Structure 1
Amino acid sequence: MFGNWLKTSILMAGIVALFGAVGAMLGGEKGMLMALLFGGAMNVWAYWFSDKMVLRMYNAREVDEATSPYLYKMVAGLAQRAGLPMPRVYIIDEDQPNAFATGRNPEHAAVAATTGIIRMLSERELRGVMAHEMAHVRNRDILISTISATVAGAISMLAQFGMFFGGSRDDDRPSPVLQILVMILAPIAAMVIQMAISRTREFGADRGGAEISGDPEALASALAKIDAYARGIPMHTADEHPETAQMMIMNPLSGDGLRSLFSTHPSTEERIARLRELAAR
């Protein structure tokens, strides 16, 4: 637990520093001060409200035992096995098979699954996927992933609107070349932060999910299916908000290029190999 709080603190400090650096490059001392204030306020807001924003972004609808007994009872059983409070359960009306967990701690957690993943996977495979998400909750990864997703978007926005941090006189304003460089490099820096945080976290959640479900092979089979189908089924919300991609069990973004280079997920083949090694034991 202490390790995750330390990582969260380092992440927040890094975010504020990145905000300040962008502000300083674009608007000198005035820009740095405004960006630092904005970054600090963004951290506070993200801690309390970013999970609600992400769920609203994906038009997720909350379900209960009456409206979705299949998924709700599955999550309830996994929460009990993991020794966790019952999270809120959401369904996202998207054809792409995917799922994620969010919230600031296990007491305020939520798990979400797309209609596509519910239709596509067998009960055993879906149970493995939801166990993976419960492992994220148990490992307290969800605060880090939700904050990094929210603030990465804010960094991109700050870079795009950086011209507003310019000084009042022409000679105080940064050069157009510098503005363009910051607009390009700041979002890439945010992606690198997310990538560094996310990849090792997915391996940990795979291992934890296998322990919670007691069925590593089911999660391995689910990952193979999701990987095969997700690439051909776009998720438009994720494409519009790529900073949220690292929250999903599988990279939801369509296309290659930088999005592939800075993927926040390890290779599916390596994830499956590790799970099957666990199953063999």
Structure 2
Amino acid sequence: MFNIMKTAILMAAITALFMAIGAMVGGRAGMMLAFIVALGMNFFSYWFSDKMVLKMYNAQEVDARSAPRFYAMVEELARNAGLPMPKVYLIEEAAPNAFATGRNPEHAAVAATTGILNVLSERELRGVMAHELAHVKHRDILISTISATMAGAISMLANFAMMFGGRDENGRPVNPLAGIAVAILAPLAASLIQMAISRAREFEADRGGAEISGDPQALASALQKIQRYAQGIPLHTAEEHPETAQMMIMNPLSGGGLRGLFSTHPATEERVARLMAMSPGQR
């Protein structure tokens, strides 16, 4: 119930932001048009954003024949979690990462890069996929896909406002500096909305993943290894579509500055410390 409430709050906040930019571009008429578009996008995001994200990353579905060991691992973990078997995808990318998507546990998918399969041991990979299945079990995946879709739309609309200027509520042109400010601040606001939900969600998925796999140390080791190997190996699709970065188990974006300051992921050190505290010898 709490995650349903979080989803509603997220959709309302991003819709309000979308309407504010619409008002900036076209006054009251622009605001109403943005509201209609936002409703349409929320509907689209609910039903189709998972397919869009998987296509964006050129994810290829695999099964027990094409990827027997990986598929069997996900199948076992889904059984441990009491979940329906999700669809399983591989992404041909050297950067080690993984994510889950879908609108509910009955229509879920988990995806991993070929890089993460090459870098991690089988035990560590189990920890990562258990983390992704925890997102499915907590119904976080809908929040991720909706926020990624809407944040991308906000960035495009903000750029439109900067290029073509805007109108006030009486239809008069506004100061061009205001359009530039909107182009900068609107995507930042969308990122803050994502960040507010994503960081707490990652901690919960770490905890849930450790319980599903029964091996918190394996996930802790995986997170440390992913962070080491991911440095200097860009995940190109995430760089082109940064709004999808919050879906990943580890922040795939290169560089620091504002990207680091407003990261949707908690510090790896803190995640590892919490997982190690869950280990049997530490209780």
Describe the superposition over 1:197-232 as per-residue Cα deviations: whole angstroms up to 9, x where unpaired. 100000000000000000000000000000111122
Q: What letter matches 1:152 in structure 2?
A: A
Q: What letter matches 1:186 in structure 2?
A: A
1:257 shift after superposition? 1.5
1:175 aligned residue: 175
> For 1:46-125, what aligned pairs fall within 5 Å after superposition?
46-125=45-124
1:166 shift after superposition? 4.3
Following TM superposition, the consecutive aligned residue runs of length 4 or more in structure 1 with deviations greater than 3 angstroms are: 163-168
1:259 aligned residue: 259
1:20 aligned residue: 19
Unaligned runs of 5+ in 1: none
Describe the superposition over 1:25-49 as per-residue Cα deviations: whole angstroms up to 9, x where unpaired. 2321111111111111111100000
1:89 shift after superposition? 0.1
Q: Is the 8 Å Cα contact of residues 250 and 265 (structure 1) preserved in structure 2? A: yes
1:165 shift after superposition? 7.9
Q: Are residue 160 (structure 1) and residue 159 (structure 2) matched?
A: yes
Q: Is the 8 Å Cα contact of residues 89 and 112 (structure 2) preserved in structure 1? A: yes
Q: What letter matches 1:219 in structure 2?
A: L
Q: Is the 8 Å Cα contact of residues 98 and 113 (structure 2) preserved in structure 1? A: yes
- TM-score, reference length from structure 1: 0.97
Partner Cα distance (1:19, 1:205) in 2: 29
Farther off after superposition, 191-200 or 25-34:
25-34
Structure 1 pair 157–264 and aligned structure 2 pair: CA distance change class (3 A): same
Q: What letter matches 2:240 in structure 1?
A: E
Q: What letter matches 2:100 in structure 1?
A: A
Q: What letter matches 1:200 in structure 2?
A: A
Partner Cα distance (1:81, 1:179) in 2: 51
Count how many residue pairs are aligned between Structure 1 and Structure 2.
Answer: 279
Q: Secondary structure at the match of 1:161?
A: helix
Q: Secondary structure at the match of 2:64?
A: coil
1:278 aligned residue: 278
2:138 aligned residue: 139
1:173 shift after superposition? 2.0
Q: Secondary structure at the match of 2:29?
A: helix
Partner Cα distance (2:85, 2:107) in 1: 9
Q: Is the 8 Å Cα contact of residues 20 and 36 (structure 1) preserved in structure 2? A: yes
1:36 aligned residue: 35
Q: What letter matches 1:74 in structure 2?
A: M
Q: Secondary structure at the match of 1:59?
A: coil
Partner Cα distance (1:274, 1:133) in 2: 17
Partner Cα distance (1:30, 1:99) in 2: 41
1:225 aligned residue: 225
Describe the superposition over 1:154-185 as per-residue Cα deviations: whole angstroms up to 9, x where unpaired. 000111112568459x9722221111111111
- TM-score, reference length from structure 2: 0.96
1:8 shift after superposition? 0.6
Describe the superposition over 1:118-146 as per-residue Cα deviations: whole angstroms up to 9, x where unpaired. 01100000000000000000000000011
Unaligned runs of 5+ in 2: none
Describe the superposition over 1:7-63 as per-residue Cα deviations: whole angstroms up to 9, x where unpaired. 111111111111111111232111111111111111110000000000000000000
